[in-house]
Amino acid sequence: MSLLTITDLTLRIAGRTLLENASLSVEPGRRIGLIGHNGAGKSTLLAAIAGDIAPDGGSITLSGRATMGRVKQETPSGDLSLLETVLSSDEERTRLLHEADTTTDPNRLADIHERLLAIDAHSAPARASTILAGLGFDQTAQSRPVNDFSGGWRMRVALASALFLSPDLLLLDEPTNHLDIEATLWLEGWLSRFPGAALIVSHDRSLLDNTVQAIAHLDQKRLSLTPGGYERFVQIRTEQALQQNRQAQKLADQREKMEAFVARFRAKATKARQAQARLKALARLPQIDAVVEQTPTHFSFPDPGTLPPPMLRLDNVAVGYNEKAILQKLSLRLDSDDRIALLGRNGHGKSTFAKLLAGQLSPMEGDIHASSQLRVGYFAQHQSDELVMDDTPIDHMSRTLKNAPPPQIRAQLARFGLDAERAETPVRNLSGGEKARLLLSLATRHAPHLLLLDEPTNHLDLDARDALIRALSEFEGAVILISHDSHLVESVADQLWIAEKGTITPFDGDMNDYRLWLEERARQAQEPSRQKGSASATTTDTPNKATQRAQRKEQTRQLAPLRRKIRDLETRLAKIEKAKEQLEAKLADPALYHSSNADEIGKLNSDLALVIQKQQESEQHWLEAQEELENATT
């Protein structure tokens, strides 16, 4: 039996059709990821399911007495504590408790307590506290009023309220946008255990792969459902595209042969009957739409050139605001090939550290040693508030590249997919993803040696996130990445730094080790009496786990050079492929053969042969290194 049934649904916004005759069925307990390009209509569909907007056609049916939960668009406010705010979202419990305090009818009081027992009301405070803790609120924060917190933290409270209700159907629209990576990992675990059904709009690949059982793809005004997470969706979609395009090509060839026969023999009496038969057969040939793919998303960072090591060094640095240090005892080093992910709970100084390296904050004590030629590019999502809404991307870039000619300005915008039309569109009319692309192009306009990326993917769709990963893999400079997207972190970073307890320290391990470390720390926090347990438990469990962690850390340390070698080979292969494409393009130019260019043609062919040889050698080295890594980790 279906929990939610969408039948022949049509939705229009401002005269634009987003969905047309779309259908989807959600069974009880089934978690589905809803994906599609920015502007495709995903959030509008959730709003229609929630009843906020009326369909223009078709129907949306929620079965029986099923409950539905959703993160409210307005953030909570008031003097209630965080814990009380979450508890109050359960309206039935709140109403019953109030009635229990006021009723004088013993029979009614008995009914109330029976119902409170049925809905497990007594455990509600513990459940609410656990959810708030998972989203980053400690016991002290849970007791503070909602009004003490900023908008981003209040959005976490709204999310906590939706999760606390544990409805039959949960609607989530980009639930990780206001989370750090620790809270995102916790949410992945919570959703994977959630017994109800869920529709989750997300561009977070790791969240989709680890929590949903199917992917609903909103594309060309239709909904299609494929089993599995996002990785499985890509595999199925790719195979479908290949099959569909092969079938379309086969029919096109068949049609061409039939049309040629008709054109040749229509006028001949002896062939007229066959020609008429071919015309009828042509009319019966099915129409197959070749898969329509949007223009592939492509990002590229300018080549910064090289700097002598170390690029930057911090010696016992402290930094903060209004004479209050947020981070202290920072003694760290950066080199030109470093790819570092800065992890840690929000509010522990990650953005403060980025502002320090970007030159927006000065050290309160200690020293920063940097090359005099060092250029830093800084991206932060809050910078979108500083954009001039009535100006175009060209206007913004022209102000920052004052002496640059128009082609150079447009080329820098085009590096991040802002084509001629979008480059001339006022910022107020750009989507969140397009604004993020503008900020990336502004941050990299001077070819920085060091890229500081603070939550760069919040408004980027899945294709754009993949494009960012590819561009960073080809980037020649250093990267410090702050992101809740664990797939991005795992794809880009080869070092982890942790912001915690007022400082930043390297973490000896990879993302898998970090997840295990977080889980162990959470268990210890939830079981304060664990240290007081039996001596036998202490002597058997703790050393084993400590030994396992030590072994993982040692393995990670030993494999770090091999992982870096693989990344260097991948960068080399990307450059070789680019050189190969350039040579092939020159050799394919007809103008090359119109005059006597025998020497040049010969040289291009020789260069191409050499590049192909280098490509084959590098691919072989990559395969050998990859095999060595797989053998070492299995």
225-277 confidence digits (pLDDT tens) = 999 998 888 888 777 667 766 666 666 666 676 667 666 665 555 555 555 66
Q: What Rg, from alpha-carbon coordinates, does the chain have?
A: 29
Which pLDDT value is given to residue 9?
93
Q: What is the distance between the alpha carbons of residues 615 and 617, in angstroms, rounded to a whole number?
A: 5
pLDDT digits (tens, 9 = 90+) for 536-573: 333 334 445 556 656 666 666 677 778 778 877 877 88
Q: What is the distance between the alpha carbons of residues 293 and 392, in angstroms, rounded to a whole number?
A: 27
Q: Where are the beta strands (DSSP E) in 36-94?
A: 57-62, 68-70
Task: Please identify which residue in the block is written with the tokens 């595999």.
Answer: 235
Whether residue 207 sits in one domain with residue 338: no
Within a domain: 370: yes
Whether residue 456 sits in one domain with residue 353: yes
- For residue 145, the surrounding DSSP H or E stretch is none
Mode of pairing for the β-strands spanning 169-173 and 197-201 = parallel
Cβ-based burial of 565 (10 A; exposed 0-12, middle 13-18, buried ≥19): middle
Which pLDDT value is given to residue 399?
92
pLDDT-flagged residues of the chain (< 70) = 73, 240-241, 244-255, 257-259, 261-296, 525-557, 595-596, 633-634
Which of 469, 494, 529 is the last residue before a domain boundary?
A: 529
What's the chain's average pLDDT?
Answer: 84
Whether residue 321 sits in one domain with residue 250: no
**Which of 317, 331, 314, 312 shows the shortest CA–CA distance to 370?**
312
The DSSP code for 81 is B
Whether residue 613 sits in one domain with residue 557: yes
Within a domain: 77: no
The DSSP code for 461 is -
Within a domain: 208: yes
Residues 6+ apart with CB under 8 A from 358: 376, 378, 452
Which pLDDT value is given to residue 328?
93
Report whether 468 contacts 569 (CB < 8 A): no
Q: What is the distance between the alpha carbons of residues 480 and 454, in angstroms, rounded to a whole number?
A: 8
pLDDT digits (tens, 9 = 90+) for 460-498: 888 888 889 888 988 889 999 999 898 899 888 888 999
Q: What is the distance between the alpha carbons of residues 628 and 625, in angstroms, rounded to a whole number?
A: 5
Phi, psi of 550 (to 5 degrees): -65, -40
Whether residue 204 sits in one domain with residue 341: no
Which pLDDT value is given to residue 376?
94
Task: Please identify which residue in the block is written with the tokens 């570092």.
Answer: 340
Which of 213, 228, 257 is the last residue before a domain boundary?
A: 257
Q: What is the extent of the structural domain holding 623?
A: 552-633
Residues 6+ apart with CB under 8 A from 290: 244, 245, 248
Q: What is the distance between the alpha carbons of residues 471 and 481, in angstroms, rounded to a whole number?
A: 14
Which pLDDT value is given to residue 329?
94
Within a domain: 477: yes
Q: Where are the beta strands (DSSP E) in 312-446?
A: 312-321, 324-334, 339-343, 365-370, 376-380
Per-residue buried b or exposed e for 64-80, using 16+ beta carbons within 10 Å of the residue's own CB: eeeebbbbeeebbeeee
Which pLDDT value is given to residue 431?
81
Whether residue 471 sits in one domain with residue 411: yes
Q: What is the distance between the alpha carbons of residues 459 and 293, in angstroms, rounded to a whole number?
A: 21
Whether residue 575 sits in one domain with residue 624: yes
- The one-letter amino acid code at 534 reads S
Which of 242, 257, 272 is the last residue before a domain boundary?
A: 257
Whether residue 429 sits in one domain with residue 319: yes
Angle between helices 598-633 and 535-587 (to 10 degrees): 170
Within a domain: 276: no
Whether residue 574 sits in one domain with residue 523: no
Report whether 83 contacts 132 (CB < 8 A): yes
Whether residue 369 sits in one domain with residue 234: no
**Which of 163, 162, 157 shows the shortest CA–CA distance to 144?**
157
Report whether 53 contacts 41 (CB < 8 A): no
Report whether 207 contacts 103 (CB < 8 A): no
pLDDT digits (tens, 9 = 90+) for 386-443: 889 999 999 999 999 888 899 999 999 999 988 888 899 998 888 888 888 999 999 9
Q: Where are the beta strands (DSSP E) in 138-196?
A: 169-173
Report whether 583 contacts 608 (CB < 8 A): yes
Which pLDDT value is given to residue 48?
93
**Omega into 393 within 30° of 0, i.e. cis?**
no
Which pLDDT value is given to residue 357?
94
Whether residue 394 sits in one domain with residue 320: yes
Within a domain: 606: yes
Within a domain: 160: no
In sequence order, the β-bridge partners of residue 142 are: none
Which pLDDT value is given to residue 280?
60
Per-residue buried b or exposed e for 379-397, using 16+ beta carbons within 10 Å of the residue's own CB: bbbebbeebeeeebbbebb
> How many domains does the structure of the chain reveal?
3
Within a domain: 117: no
CA distances from 106 to 31, 101, 111, 117 (A): 43, 12, 9, 16
Angle at 264 between CA 259 and CA 269, to 5 degrees: 115
Q: What is the CATH number of the domain that holds 376?
A: 3.40.50.300
Report whether 414 contacts 316 (CB < 8 A): no
Whether residue 392 sits in one domain with residue 335: yes
